[in-house]
Amino acid sequence: MSMLEAAHENDIELEGACEGSLACSTCHVIVMDVKDYNKLEDPTDEENDMLDLAFGLTETSRLGCQVIAKPELDGVRLALPAATRNFAVDGFVPKPH
């Protein structure tokens, strides 16, 4: 199950315009802990092409539809980027890419 599917199954408002076909960047999520980010496989060229266009891109950004649940990711925290405002929540300030 991808993070996008997980969000929708739990009524979390994560947009998914292309429904997981790597044709948009609306499911952009920020992996809050760089250790978790490093556990993920590198994004493909296709995912990077979409990340290029994502709002508020950071060094630990991924597309939610490409991050698949697995036991190693237990407890991972993902933030949805602020589109119209930039907030620091609990001191977390995403580094601009």
The residues binding another protein (CB under 8 A) are 1, 3, 6-7, 10, 12-15, 17-19, 21-26, 29-30, 45-46, 48-50, 52-53, 55, 57, 69-71, 73-85, 87, 89, 97
| Residue where the block lists tokens 């649940």 | 69
* Residue 66 CB burial class (10 angstroms; 0-12, 13-18, ≥19): buried
Residue 77 CB, shortest distance to another protein, in Å, is 5
| Residue where the block lists tokens 């580094």 | 95
Q: Which is nearer to another protein, 41 or 71 (CB)?
A: 71
